[in-house]
Amino acid sequence: MRIIEGGVCAAKGFTASGVHCGIRASRSKRDISLIFSERKASCAAVYTTNLVKGAPLDVTKAHIADGYAQAVICNSGNANTCNSNGIEIAEQTCQLLAQELGIDANDVVVASTGVIGQKLDINPIRKGIPQLVAELSKSGNANAVEGIMTTDTEPKEIALTFQAGGKTCTMGGMAKGSGMIHPNMATMLVFITTDCAIEPKMLQKALSNDIPNTFNMVSVDGDTSTNDMVTVMANGMADNSLITEDGPDFQAFMKALNTITVTLCRKIAGDGEGATKMLECIVSGAKTKQTAKTVAKSIICSSLTKAAMFGADANWGRVLCAIGYSGADVDVHRIDVAFRSAAGTVEVCKDGAGIDFSEEIAKKVLSEKEIDILVNLNSGDQDATAWGCDLTYEYVKINGDYRT
């Protein structure tokens, strides 16, 4: 496996673009993006668990019920959620794009992100689609990433190559996500493309198996979004043997997918609204996988732990507190805790009790931009990882006037 440039355009047959169409008032911000496959592709998706869902999710779910898609269109600045004509707007968007591309509207994935409960006018989208299609290119991934960003401060994309069926396959992904990030597949918008040949049912299996250990393990603020989903399109243009069942090729595909998703998880966590630090909680020694996941997610979601990390305060008691109320079956008298970063490692808790450590060293360790919270439950051989960020003054500022 090799990391390469190109994002969602790296795989054969995929182009992308992003333009300003007028949904956002600021003309300096692109607000609509397109990903297009020259060949119809297998398609799979996972959606938010929030009962309040954006209209685009319902439309997309219906469109890819047959397991195929050819284009993804996504706007930012307006979530198209809780609108009386939301479905109509989403469907019109697909129809307008399909006409411009010369494809079936049912082969369009549609997504939106931004303010909830604000009416979305179809006219800016109608005017912007011709330009969006005209600007499709193999180098359009950067503009496409920009077009889906809201409070994100940096683009999030990755691409890689891997071997399957005797061929070199390519996979790329892009994501947006900074706030309203919380586990249980309501984390962000993620679009993944690959030229690997894989049946729709196996593509869905790969995505569904990956999500619980990646995107469901990210939390920025504990709020589960209404609009978010992960989609994968696989157009088969690498000409590898079609993946129709489990085996070495499917495992290679899963490994590539996991590398893409973990990278995007880390980027999303590190770019949480107002964040100054990316947190990775690694739990080991658990009785079961679920116990490890529950503990890791509880710690990464703890506002007090997140605030302590912002202040570079080695307040390990907050970590144990989060474990204690997580509901996980653990022996609190066997827990070890340590903090690790590029500045080193400091052990702070052994067998559920505090141990002597240098506050000066701890301060240096916790002052880095990426911090690992290491927890050993010493009760088994299962592990899990969760990702998050610190809680800062800026988070409140951003969300205090989000609409304005």
CA dist 254 and 234 (Å) reads: 13
Whether 316 contacts 347, CB under 8 Å:
no
Closest CA to 175 of 163, 158, 194, 199: 158
- How many other C-beta atoms can be found within 10 angstroms of the C-beta atom of residue 153? 12
Three-state DSSP state, 147? helix
What angle separates helix 55-63 from helix 86-101, to the nearest 10 degrees? 50
For residue 242, the 8-state DSSP code is P
Beta-carbon contacts of 382 under 8 Å, excluding residues fewer than 6 positions away, are: 285, 286, 287, 288, 289, 291, 292
Three-state DSSP state, 21? coil
- How many other C-beta atoms can be found within 10 angstroms of the C-beta atom of residue 113? 28
392 flagged as catalytic: no
Closest CA to 219 of 386, 53, 392, 402: 386
CA dist 69 and 113 (Å) reads: 20
Identify residue 131 by its one-letter amino acid code. Answer: Q
Find the catalytic residue in 15, 48, 187, 392: 187
CA-to-CA separations, 404 to 25, 325, 390, in angstroms, rounded: 11, 37, 24
Whether 338 contacts 354, CB under 8 Å:
no
Catalytic positions are: 187
